[in-house]
């Protein structure tokens, strides 16, 4: 990688005005997460457990939700585990190349979310049964839950879009990728959780207002594109091209270093755009400052915390070193109940 904007130093400059933070309950979250994943059968093999522990999702939760209380942080850590384990299945496994199986799994997930986690689909796999536990523990207003479900549905549609692309060998154009990336990354879902841990409930008209929506979109893009820079080697090793660096390189006939530099410059621009839209929202919506300030603080923590975690986690380095034939960290039992008979995926 070059020593320009796309280098680690260049990315660090993009986040220089966002101070790092860490939740004081990090140790409790790490311990709780280990117990929760075991209790729900999410991680069975030694290989998968070692890889999961090295990713350090408890610390990731602590870096992105620094003000959550212990109960809230443990809930966030569980959500992170669930989202990342699902993401691995959709990105790295057979499921991610099969739109039909992806659709079947997402249908079971939606069934849990629309039923408040009270009833489980028949033969539900562990990724679905564990979601029921999460959904019952996530206390929020009906409008928040409706918004959250909508974001999960949109994410499911985007995941199927990616699966279609993989099945056809299609590299998406930049605008299509950017639009779908916000949802395949589940970042709107994660931003929704700011309201849960902060105990706030943003009115729909405030959430949909232009300055808030634009600030949120900028923050989401920063998180997703930062992830793309750090996960590039892993995804390249696995033959995955749903990555902004890869898409930009393909669209503009660039070298990898040039594409990384361009994406890093885009990240810097979006951090600046977030700041401008945050200021505009606070000016335009003075009656909602008490709700907006903690939400914007949460977005800043997410951008910075994601950068710090991405720079140190072994989640991306391990898979990049292993190569495309070594994805034995995928747990087939997570999705078997929704994607054919047990053991069907090989």
Find how far residue 72's CA is from the centre of its chain. Answer: 18
Determine, yes or no, domain membership for 2.
no
Rg (CA), the chain: 19
Rounded Cα gap, residues 324 and 176, in angstroms: 26
The total number of structural domains in the chain stands at: 1
Helices (H), the chain: 8-14, 26-39, 46-55, 57-64, 70-92, 99-114, 126-137, 142-168, 174-184, 187-198, 204-207, 210-237, 244-252, 256-284, 289-312, 315-322
Determine, yes or no, domain membership for 342.
no
Give me the pLDDT at residue 123, please. 77
Query: What are the pLDDT digits (tens) for 287-336?
Result: 999 999 999 999 999 999 999 999 988 777 665 455 544 444 445 556 56
Determine, yes or no, domain membership for 346.
no
Rounded Cα gap, residues 70 and 328, in angstroms: 33
Q: What is the pLDDT along the chain (346 residues), one digit of tens a residue?
A: 343 344 556 899 999 999 999 999 999 999 999 999 999 999 888 888 888 999 899 999 999 999 999 999 999 999 999 998 888 877 666 666 677 887 888 888 988 998 866 677 777 889 999 999 999 999 999 999 999 999 999 998 998 899 899 989 999 999 999 999 999 989 999 999 999 999 999 999 999 999 999 999 999 999 999 999 999 998 999 899 999 999 999 999 999 999 999 999 999 999 999 999 999 999 999 999 999 999 999 999 999 999 999 998 877 766 545 554 444 444 555 656 544 433 333 2
Task: Specify whether the CB–CB gap between 63 and 305 falls below 8 A.
Answer: yes
User: How many C-beta atoms surround the C-beta of residue 320 within 10 A?
Assistant: 16
**Chain position carrying tokens 């680690």:** 8
Determine, yes or no, domain membership for 306.
yes
Determine, yes or no, domain membership for 16.
yes
CA 133, 309, 26, 40: dihedral to nearest 10 degrees? 20
HEC string for 10-74: HHHHHCCCCCCCCCCCHHHHHHHHHHHHHHCCCCCCHHHHHHHHHHCHHHHHHHHCCCCCHHHHH
User: How many C-beta atoms surround the C-beta of residue 165 within 10 A?
Assistant: 19
Determine, yes or no, domain membership for 344.
no
Residues with Cβ within 8 Å of residue 318, at least 6 apart in sequence: 51, 54, 234
Q: Residue 301 class from Cβ within 10 Å (0-12 exposed, 13-18 middle, 19+ buried)? A: buried
Query: What are the pLDDT digits (tens) for 118-167?
Result: 677 777 889 999 999 999 999 999 999 999 999 999 998 998 899 899 98
Rounded Cα gap, residues 271 and 51, in angstroms: 31
CATH of the domain at 24: 1.10.600.10
Determine, yes or no, domain membership for 343.
no
Give me the pLDDT at residue 344, please. 35
Rounded Cα gap, residues 188 and 144, in angstroms: 12
State the residue range of the domain holding 32.
8-337
Determine, yes or no, domain membership for 61.
yes
- Rounded (5°) CA angle 270-13-267: 20
């Amino acid at each position: 990688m070059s020593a320009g904007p796309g280098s680690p130093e260049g990315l660090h400059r993009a986040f220089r005005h966002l101070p790092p933070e860490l939740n004081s309950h990090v140790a409790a979250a790490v311990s709780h997460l280990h117990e929760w994943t075991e209790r729900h059968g999410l991680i069975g093999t030694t290989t998968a457990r070692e890889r999961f522990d090295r990713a350090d999702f408890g610390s990731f939760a602590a870096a992105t939700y620094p003000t959550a209380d212990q109960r809230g942080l443990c809930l966030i850590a569980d959500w992170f585990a669930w989202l990342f384990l699902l993401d691995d299945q959709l990105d790295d496994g057979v499921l991610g190349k099969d739109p039909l199986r992806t659709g079947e799994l997402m249908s079971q997930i939606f069934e849990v979310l629309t039923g408040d986690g009270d009833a489980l689909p028949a033969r539900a796999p562990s990724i679905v049964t564990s979601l029921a536990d999460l959904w019952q523990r996530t206390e929020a207003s009906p409008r928040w839950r409706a918004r959250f479900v909508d974001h999960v549905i949109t994410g499911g549609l985007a995941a199927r879009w990616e699966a279609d692309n993989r099945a056809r060998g299609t590299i998406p154009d930049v605008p299509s990728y950017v639009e779908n990336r916000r949802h395949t990354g589940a970042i709107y879902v994660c931003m929704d959780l700011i309201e849960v841990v902060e105990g706030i409930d943003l009115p729909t008209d405030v959430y949909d207002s232009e300055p808030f929506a634009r600030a949120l979109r900028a923050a989401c893009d920063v998180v997703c594109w930062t992830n793309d820079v750090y996960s590039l080697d892993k995804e390249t090793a696995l033959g995955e091209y749903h990555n902004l660096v890869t898409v930009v390189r393909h669209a503009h006939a660039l070298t990898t270093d040039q594409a990384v530099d361009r994406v890093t410059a885009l990240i810097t621009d979006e951090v600046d755009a977030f700041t401008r839209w945050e200021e505009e929202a606070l000016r335009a919506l003075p009656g909602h400052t008490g709700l907006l300030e903690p939400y914007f603080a949460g977005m800043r923590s997410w951008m910075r915390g994601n950068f710090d975690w991405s720079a140190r986690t072994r989640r991306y380095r391990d898979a990049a070193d292993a190569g495309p034939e070594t994805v034995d960290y995928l747990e087939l039992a997570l999705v078997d109940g929704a994607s054919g008979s047990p053991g069907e995926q090989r």
